[in-house]
Structures are given as C-alpha cells and as structure tokens.
Structure 1
Amino acid sequence: MKKLFLLSALSASLSLGGYTTAQAQQNETGIVFRKDAFADVLKESARTGKLVFIDCYTSWCAPCKWMEKNAFTNDTAANYYNAHFINYKIDMEKGEGPELRKRYGVQVFPTYLFLDSKGELVHKATSRMEVSEFVEEGKKALDPTRSLTAMEKAFNNGERSKENLLSYALALQKTDRNKADTVSRMLIAALTDADMLSPLGWKTIQAFAWDEEEKLGKYFTAHRDEYTKKYDAKAVSNVKERLLSTALYGLIRKKDSTAFYARLAPWLNSSDTGIQRKAVMMEAEFYLTMTNVKGFVKVTDKALEGIMQRDDIGLSFLARRCQYLAKGSQPFLQQCYKLAKRAAVIDPKEYGNQSTLAKICQELGNKPEALEAAQAAYDLSLLETSKIQKIAQKELDAVKEMK
C-alpha cells in the first residue's frame, strides 16, 4: 500500500509538473521562443511534426526590435505561431548564429526561416512586417503550394503561369532580389493589355513598376484614372509618387532644371508633410548635383525651420549626402555642419548622428568638436555590432591624430 501511495503521489507530481509547465507557457505574453540548442529544436520538430520558425536577428537591428515589440507580442500572431510552429530565435552574430547565417544564406535582418525537422528550408522571408503580413508568411510556410520551396520547385518544373510567376517573384523580393528581377521580367513580358487592369496586373504594377518609360509605368500613367476608380486611391498614389521619384532622379542626372522643376511642382505645392519632405530631399539633391551652394543653403535652411525641424534622421542623411558630394567645398561643408549639428542636438544618443557630425567637423578642421562627437559615437557603438565598434574606434583614432 505504501509503494502504491508513493507511485500515485509521484504520478500526480509529474502530471502537475507537466500541467504547470504548459500553463506557464500559456501565460507567457507573445510568441514562446525555445532557448535550446538548434539540434534540440530540430528534435522537437521531429517529435511534434511541427515546422521550426526561426527569427534571425542582431542586437543592432532596428526592424528586429520593432518586430519584437509589435509583432511577436501580438495575441493574433502569438496564438498562430505558438499553435503551428516550434519557435526559435537566434542572434546571427553570437553562438550558433554565424554558422546558421552561412548555412541558410541570411543576408539581411530580420530574416525568418521555416525549416522541417531535418533542417531543410521550407520557406523564407525578411523585413519588418505588420501582424497580418507576418501571420500570412506563417500560413504560406504551411501551404504546400505557396511556400518558397514549393514555388521554386514548380518554377523549375516549368509551371510558369502568370499567377505562379507573380507569387514566386513576390516571395523572391524578400529573399533574393536578383532572382526576383529575373522572374518579374518574365512575368511583365507575358502580360497583355487585358491583364494590366486585372487584380494580377495591378499587383504586378504595385510591386514592380519603377520607371514611367517602361511597360508597367507607361500603362499605369496612361490609365491612372481607371486604377483610381478600381483600386485603393492611396496605393495608386504611392505608385504615382514612386514613378515620379525615378523621373526626377533622371532629370537631376541630366541637369535639366526646367523639366526638373516642372515635374517637382506637385510635390512643392502638396499639403502632405510626407510629400513635402520628399520635395526637400529631391530639391537638395538637385542643388548638390548642380554645385549650387546658394540654392542648397536656401532649401535646407527653410527645412530646418519648417518641415524638418525635428527630423534628425532626414537632416543627418542630408548632411552625409552633402559631405559626399561637396568634395571639400567649404561653403557646402559649413551647411553640412549646420544640418549635422541640429540632428545631433535633436537626438544625441543616435550613433549615426554623432558619427556624421564627427566626420564633418574633422573635414572642417574643427578638432575639439570632432573629438567630442567621435567619442560620443564610439560610446554609442558599444551598443552596436563589433563591426560598427571597429569603425567607430578607427574614426576616433583618426580624429585624435588631427593636428
């Protein structure tokens, strides 16, 4: 009887322990990521029959942190991924990360891998995503007709309908841009005028129309009103702005000021703040290319007091671009400094802001401020990758050697 009691108690204890573990997992907020070694994760996949989902991240990747905060903690995403996958995440610069990065060709962060129990790739995607898109990627991984591996196999077997080409090209956009270009060109060549206004044609235009002089851009421009009536007006506007950006950059390269300002006019007169920022960036690029200091100063001074007065990222970008194209021109560099200084004041804890300011001060021969910014950049780099730390150290050493 005593033995029976002990066995019963042990059985109850084990059952309670199992329940407690499961309950703890259920009570966790967001996706439950395993902390085992990669080999153990594959064993769990084999035991359960579930695919492995891997979040490939780095400590310095801003989109990775956004996903961690906004997608992985979302109930809808968590419920789906916890139910259908063995979830695993790994820093691609630590532990087993570098080996897995090489094995699966991880080039950008975040990258999402979906593997079978043998470690074979089933599906792959990249970039920051909204919850609905992130869940959709999981559904694709489980669909034997929509996963990246399945679409690649179908393509190689000659299954090249327009629908298949579009799906494959869209998937490749997130994993292999060169191959995506090849497949998208095949799709575009196959599209007829009758296809262009169809949902398939519209999806193709949204993804691959970049130049208003090419097939997709020409058709869209000629039939824009029809697209506006048939599809989402904001999406139509996005394609329009993208095509205009390409055209404007082309006119900048040609240094055609008359045509450039004629095309830029809608942006200059827009009430949309996002479009206004684009106009500033484009006009600044024009003046830099034309080596027109007065024009560049006028545009950027106005932006400093207006649309970009709190936009440290935009100002820092303009400062770096200005420094690159200034080629030592002191008047340009003085304005570069003004932009970089404001960016560093807005957000002094942003590595890029301090690094940009340090480089410009160094080029201007301003050692005290260059040293202060370079030291700040180095201190901030300690929160980044070892590669960035080495760059920051090299820049700090160069400033210290200034006469």
Structure 2
Amino acid sequence: MKKLLILSAFILLMGSNSFGQGGVDFSNGTWSELLARAEKESKLIFMDAYTEWCGPCKMMTRDVFSQKEAGDFFNANFINVKMDMEKGEGTGLREKYKVMAYPTLLFIDKTGEVVHQAVGYHSTDLFLELGETALDPEQNFGGIKARYNSGDRSPELLYKYALAKYGAMDSSYTGQAEEYLATQEDWSAEKNMEFIFRLTEDPHSKMFDYFFQNRPAFEAQFGEQSVAGKIDQIVQSQLNSISTDEDLKKIDLLYKKVYPGEAAEMSARLRMGIFAQKEDWKNFAPAAAAYHEKFPSKNWEELNEIAWVFNEMVDGKKNTKLAINWAKKSIGLDDNYFNNDTLASLYFKLGKKKKALKAAKKAISLAQQSGEDYSSTEALIEKINNK
C-alpha cells in the first residue's frame, strides 16, 4: 500500500505543470492543432517566441512564467505555447510573424492573425497587464489597427497605435507618432514630452528635431544623464546601420548637429574604424594618416597601437616611416617595453637591422625591469641576426 501511495504521488508530480506551483501551463501539439483548439475553445493563443541562447527568455521562464498569478490568468484565458524560433515549426512561424528579437510575446487568434504583441522581458505585473490588453479589442494591437484602417484618426487612437507599434518593434511607428503630435497644440505638455522622449529614435524625424531643440526642457523633466544617454543611443543605432557612403554622409551631418565641437574628429575616426573593421587596409592607411595629422594624439597607448597596426597590416616604406614616427612619439610620452618593441619591429620591416637590434635590446631591458614577457622580442632578435 505504501509503495502504491508513493507511486501515485510520483505520477501526480510528473503530470503537474512543469513550471511548478501553478505557473503558466504550456501546451504541446502542432501549430494546426493549436489553431483548432483556439477555435474550439474560443481562446487566443499566447506564444512565447524564444531561442535557447536568449537570456531574457530564460529569465521569463524562471521568474515570470513560474508565478502562480501568471498561471491563474494565462491558463484561464489563453492556450499557451512556447516555440523555439530556430527549431521545427518555429522557423516557419518566425518568418510568418516576422520575429526579429527575443523574447517576442505574441497573441494570435484562431485564424492565425496576431491581435497583440510585445518584445522583450516583462516582469510579472507587466506580463499580466500585457495579457489583459490582448483580451481587450479596444486596446489590443489588432483592434487599434482595424480602427485606424477604417479611418479613425482621433488623437487617442493615434497615441495608442503609435505606442502599440513601438512596443511590437514595428519601425513604421514614427508615422503614427507624428500624426498624433500633429493633433497637439502643445508638445511641451507632460504627456507629450513623455511620448516624445520614449518614442524618439530616428534622428531625421520631427520628433528628434523638437527633442534636440528643446533639450533643456527634457533635461529638466528626465535628467541630464538620461537625455545625454538617449542622444548617444540614437547616434549609436545609426552607426550600427552604416553600409554605404551615403550613410556616412548622414552620420557626418548628425555629428555636426549633435556634437558640433567634436564632429570633425569623430567623423575622421569613424572612417578609420570602418576601414579597419572591413580590413580595407589600402584605404585605412590614408584615413589613419589624415586623422593623426589633423588630430595628433598625446596618448602613448593610442600611438603605439596605430604604429603596431601599420607594422602588421599596412605595406609601403612611406607608411612604415610614418609608423616609426608614431612609435617614437609614443616613447617620448612613456618609454616602455611595448612601444620600443613596436619600434624594433618597424625598423626591421624597413630593413634597418642595426636600429631594429638596438630598439629590441632596449625593449628587453625595459621588460626585465617591469616583469613583462619578452619572448616575442627575443624571437625578433633571432630573425634580425639570421637575416
């Protein structure tokens, strides 16, 4: 009898929710079977679109889906499913629903249409709020979109539609955001300031122009650090999307607008960095030479680094002599093993064996004093002596 009781308890445990103590119960089955269930039970499907490598996805599984209050609400109102977007049916669903970030939280009706969605980690409270919104046709993405498509252009609808698109990572949200703002006489109202601060991401938009032109007002409301961080984030997003010369020209204009005192130096450094990233050393060399001529560095590490890159990647006597000058300037700022080793390598590359040997011996002497590993310099000396 005791064995039977233990076995029964074990079976009950194995059959319970895999997320424990009343968490969200995720269903199995094919996508067509889940859609059939949605029609039969008159429920929406909640899909956690995830990947195995996604950190926030794992956090939601551990900290949110496991919560009893999340389970009570979602199990009662939705058919819940987890879909790995890189395996099985998930790959096709990723294409169908244009999933580009993880986790993407989708609410889908019986016909397979998305009625609401959001992207990113949500705390339990935000997750419950998301579910409640998905159930409300006046508030969910599908309902708002239908009203917009039928001609509703009320400020309330435009406000909600822009926020819904933004939350779904739909890049076209700027259109509705500026439609909403066009209905507002006072963009400086607290609600509108919050709206602009949250949704401004395109540096070529009217929202950004207003945000930047009224920077002191935004700093007063959100803090100088937050505003500076927002601007840096917008600029960085543009840097990440550079692919053409036209993109570079746009960045030049953006630098002039946002960082007027540093724009020229930032543009020059950007070009140097892009050529290095592409391993386009032919164009990197003149870009680096122009940058360091116009904006000479007083940092020994920066000078040593560019000299070493020229040693390793850039050919031509003229370029090697330029790199030697940088290495010497680096030594003048801080005489150490690293820049003397660089100088030795450059002299050897130029065919100046005596000078290379002298710099290498000095580098080893400095390394012995500072405790640095100088085995690579010993190997260089061997090459010099054997050539």
TM-score by length of 2: 0.55
Of 124, 143, 150, 1:150 maps to: 143
Q: Deviations over 1:30-67 (max 9, x none)?
A: 43211233344344444544321011223444554454
Mapped pair 1:205 → 2:197: yes
Q: Matched residues in 2 for 1:74 and 1:283: separation?
A: 52
Distance 1:59-1:215 versus aligned 2 partners, 3 A rule? same
Distance 1:19-1:42 versus aligned 2 partners, 3 A rule? farther
Of 48, 51, 54, 1:55 maps to: 48
Does the aligned pair in 1 maintain the 2:119–2:169 contact within 8 Å?
Answer: no
Corresponding letter in the other structure for 2:152: E
Q: Matched residues in 1 for 2:299 and 2:88: separation?
A: 46
Q: Matched residues in 2 for 1:28 and 1:301: separation?
A: 60
| Cα distance, 1:88 vs structure 2 | 0.1
Of 160, 172, 185, 1:167 maps to: 160
- Quick check: which has more Rg, 1 or 2? 2
Mapped pair 1:227 → 2:218: yes
Mapped pair 1:72 → 2:65: yes
Partner of 2:261, secondary structure, is: helix
Does the aligned pair in 2 maintain the 1:184–1:208 contact within 8 Å?
Answer: no
| Cα distance, 1:217 vs structure 2 | 3.1
Corresponding letter in the other structure for 2:87: K
Distance 1:37-1:237 versus aligned 2 partners, 3 A rule? same
Q: Give the corresponding residue for 2:261.
A: 262
Alignment map for 1:3-402 (pairs within 5 Å): 24=17, 27-28=20-21, 30-46=23-39, 48-73=41-66, 77-175=70-168, 177-192=170-185, 194-208=186-200, 210-211=202-203, 215-231=206-222, 235-242=226-233, 253=252, 262-263=261-262, 285=270, 287-288=272-273, 291-292=287-288, 329=314
Q: Matched residues in 2 for 1:175 and 1:19: separation?
A: 39
Q: Matched residues in 1 for 2:19 and 2:54: separation?
A: 28
Q: Matched residues in 1 for 2:180 and 2:191: separation?
A: 14
Q: Deviations over 1:200-246 (max 9, x none)?
A: 342133212543x7533343344434334445666444434446768
Q: Matched residues in 1 for 2:124 and 2:179: separation?
A: 31
Distance 1:255-1:133 versus aligned 2 partners, 3 A rule? closer
Partner of 2:161, secondary structure, is: helix
Q: CA RMSD in A?
A: 4.9
Corresponding letter in the other structure for 2:130: E
Q: Give the corresponding residue for 1:360.
A: none
Distance 1:136-1:200 versus aligned 2 partners, 3 A rule? farther
Distance 1:170-1:68 versus aligned 2 partners, 3 A rule? same
Corresponding letter in the other structure for 1:161: S
Q: Matched residues in 2 for 1:262 and 1:232: separation?
A: 22
Distance 1:208-1:93 versus aligned 2 partners, 3 A rule? same
Q: Which runs of 5+ in 1 are unaligned?
A: 1-15, 265-278, 304-322, 333-403
Q: Matched residues in 1 for 2:137 and 2:215: separation?
A: 37
Does the aligned pair in 1 maintain the 2:252–2:267 contact within 8 Å?
Answer: no
Q: How many residues align?
A: 282
Corresponding letter in the other structure for 1:239: K
Q: Which runs of 5+ in 2 are unaligned?
A: 1-8, 240-247, 275-285, 303-308, 321-387
Partner of 2:187, secondary structure, is: helix
| Cα distance, 1:153 vs structure 2 | 0.5
Corresponding letter in the other structure for 1:219: Y
Does the aligned pair in 1 maintain the 2:104–2:118 contact within 8 Å?
Answer: yes
TM-score by length of 1: 0.53
Corresponding letter in the other structure for 2:26: F
Corresponding letter in the other structure for 2:192: L
Corresponding letter in the other structure for 2:156: E
Does the aligned pair in 2 maintain the 1:127–1:174 contact within 8 Å?
Answer: no
Q: Deviations over 1:121-170 (max 9, x none)?
A: 32122334454444332222112111110010010111112332122122
Corresponding letter in the other structure for 1:215: K
